[in-house]
Homo-oligomer: A and B are copies of this chain.
Amino acid sequence: MDDIKKVVLAYSGGLDTSVILKWLQDTYQCEIVTFTADLGQGEELEPARAKAIKFGIKPENIFIDDLRDEFVRDFVLPMFRANTVYEGEYLLGTSIARPLIAKRQIEIARMTGANAVSHGATGKGNDQVRFELGYYALEPGIKVIAPWREWDLLSREKLLAYAEKHEIPVEMKHKQGGAPYSMDANLLHISFEGRHLENPNAVAEESMWRWTVSPENAPDQAEFIDIEFSKGDPVAINGVALGPKEMLAQLNTLGGKHGIGRLDLVENRFVGMKSRGCYETPGGTILLKAHRGIESITLDREVAHLKDDLMPRYASLIYNGYWWAPERIALQTLIDHTQLMVNGFVRLKLYKGSVSVVSRDSVNTLFDMNIATFDDDGGAYNQADAGGFIKLNALRMRIAEIARRKRLK
């Protein structure tokens, strides 16, 4: 253990990472650097500084960074260019934040001369994998400390006892039976796991949801919005240009207001077990629908199908923590290339939990009304061509059936 000199800890300021901070100090007798990121989780970060100082962390070892723009611009939006959905449902709100945290932790390790990093993810989940694959990919010699896999504080009771013993302040909610759920939030989503969600047959409580009103409490009047896209990314709502983080925040506000983006799911973790999660992704749910809408008139059919064929693989890469892997980057190269002409406008209806596309338009449209029309098209399309098209597409099946019948004779 004596080779751990300095550790960069991903530190939220909450109970778990505070216990980890203390445990690292005691166990490794090393200097600690705390890193707290604003990814839009909606919590004040300055209290984390005060807490860190209480633990004796030097001011120059306390990093509190606003990563919201980078998060949306370099992680969320590239992912949405692929219409990424894991297992048909999950918009990867937690998965997509981890590689950025890992990257920043490594940057801070280099700046501060730390030779180790640490995080508060458990040994059962995906997040440990996402963090650590990022660490190792970016800094192959880094040492990783994952306290949940090392210590013996495996139950909430033991954790609280440790906190009490070491005078780590514990919020009321933790004392009274513990936080209701294990939650994670950033500008893309908030997630809920654990507690009575651990039974997939138990219905989630209405009180659990945080970011969206229930559809029942959403406005009785539908709202229509226009989203403008440029190279596959949303750039304006209702004609008002917005930067990456403002865009996603605004979509969250709209989705939350209309009860859009709730999801209750049993998913398959990379470590091999099924787990049940509930997610609120209001802005992302709108964005996915809108992006498919603008692609529907600007992307070539076979390019769109190629993207659809590759999407589950790309989604699994992100879910499993391979953002920094060369195969993810190779796929991104293809995906980004396809987006050059994905420009235009999509009009959406938001109403009581649903989002739907009602119209779309683009200077790059590939929709040709002259050809598509049911009316006389003046020769733009020669219907007789279809006869030969079908005949040759059927040829192999006809030959096979003829051969089959010959054998039966």
Which A residues fall within an 8 A CB radius of B?
Answer: 83, 87-89, 122-124, 128-129, 132-133, 136-141, 146, 148-150, 154-156, 182, 193-195, 198-204, 215-216, 220, 222, 262-268, 271-276, 292, 296-297, 300-306, 308-309, 312-313, 316, 322, 324-327, 329-331, 333-334, 337-338, 347, 351-354, 356-361, 363-369, 371-376, 381-403, 407
Contact = CB atoms under 8 A, between A and B. Distances in A.
A124 to B, nearest CB: 6
Given A137-B397, A198-B369, A312 B302 contact: no
Given A275-B372, A394-B132, A385 B383 contact: no
Contact of A146 (B305, B347, B372, B387): B387
Number of copies: 4
B333 A333 contact: yes
Best-surrounded residue of A87, A360, A390 (most CB of chain B within 10 A): A390
Q: Which of A222, A383, A386 has the most CB of B within 10 A?
A: A386
A128 B390 contact: yes
B399 A368 contact: yes
Closest 3 CB pairs of A and B: A123-B383, A388-B388, A272-B395
Contacts of A356: 262-264, 353
Given A133-B393, A140-B401, A387-B149, A198 B366 contact: no
Nearest to A308: B312
Residue among A306, A357, A372 having the largest count of chain B Cβ atoms under 10 Å: A372
B337 A330 contact: yes
Contacts of A392: 271-272, 385-386, 389
A297 B266 CA distance: 7
A275 B399 CA distance: 13
A273 B376 contact: no
Given A124-B381, A133-B393, A156-B375, 8 more contacts: A87-B296, A132-B390, A193-B374, A203-B359, A204-B358, A272-B301, A272-B392, A274-B297
